[in-house]
Amino acid sequence: MALRLGDVAPDFTAETTEGTIHFHEWLGDSWGVLFSHPADFTPVCTTELGTVARYKPEFEKRNVKVIALSVDPLGSHNEWVKDINETQKTNVNYPMIADEDQHVAKLYDMIHPNASDTLTVRSVFIIGADKKIKLILTYPASTGRNFDEILRVIDSLQLTANYSVATPANWQHGQDVVISPSIKDEDIPAKFPKGHQKVKPYLRTTPQPNLD
């Protein structure tokens, strides 16, 4: 059965480019991004892994650990990292899972027979500190991921986990947010002291509450 939002992310033990990890233990109290690749030494994946290496400080600011997966063996990963570092002018600074037996790929339903019987699609799983899956994205092998969007989603997920708000279309960090319909009008001033705007009875906005 395919994983769904709110499910506990399956735990696993795997060999990676940074040694053996036990996934839940490795995550600790951090959030996580697990993202898969169709194969080593492929062009789009090379650009993606380089991008994530450059963005790692942004993930760390958000208490997020990143980990990649491909169904190729560890030796292949280690050789590919050299190419990524060279061509993307960076240093891969996070683990890559060597999922040669497809154990993790199958746990996370990353292999789609209509696309390929053996290769993973470009899956993204954002996992909260509670080990539950907060977001699932699936891209075809031909389309590289937008990691700015993944960071934007993490900002929204972490904000809405702590405040009774939602983020509107195209929201960016620092912009106004939507007050949850479950909050009564008379309770808004105490919960959102920065003020609010009532556009419609069901559409009320307020400045992002976790900013000074």
Clarify whether 45 is annotated catalytic: yes
pLDDT in tens, 84-111: 999 999 999 999 999 999 999 999 988 7
140/7 Cα distance (integer angstroms): 23
Q: Which residue has the tokens 């002291």?
A: 193
Which residue's structure tokens are 């060279």? Answer: 86
Q: Which stretches of 45-196 are assigned E, i.e. beta strand?
A: 64-70, 96-98, 122-127, 133-139, 165-166, 177-179
- Provide the whole-model pTM: 0.92
- Digit-coded pLDDT (tens) for 149-195: 999 999 999 999 999 999 999 999 999 999 999 999 999 999 999 99
21 and 32 Cβ atoms separated by less than 8 Å = no
Question: Are 72 and 40 in contact, with CB atoms under 8 Å apart?
Answer: yes
**DSSP letter assigned to residue 25:** H
Q: Which domains are delineated in the chain?
A: 13-145 (3.40.30.10), 163-206 (no CATH)
Own/partner long-range contacts of 155-162 (Cβ < 8 Å, ≥24 apart): 155/62, 157/126, 157/128, 158/31, 158/62, 159/208, 159/209, 159/210, 161/128, 162/210
Single out the catalytic residue among 34, 45, 151, 165: 45
- What is the pLDDT at residue 38? 86
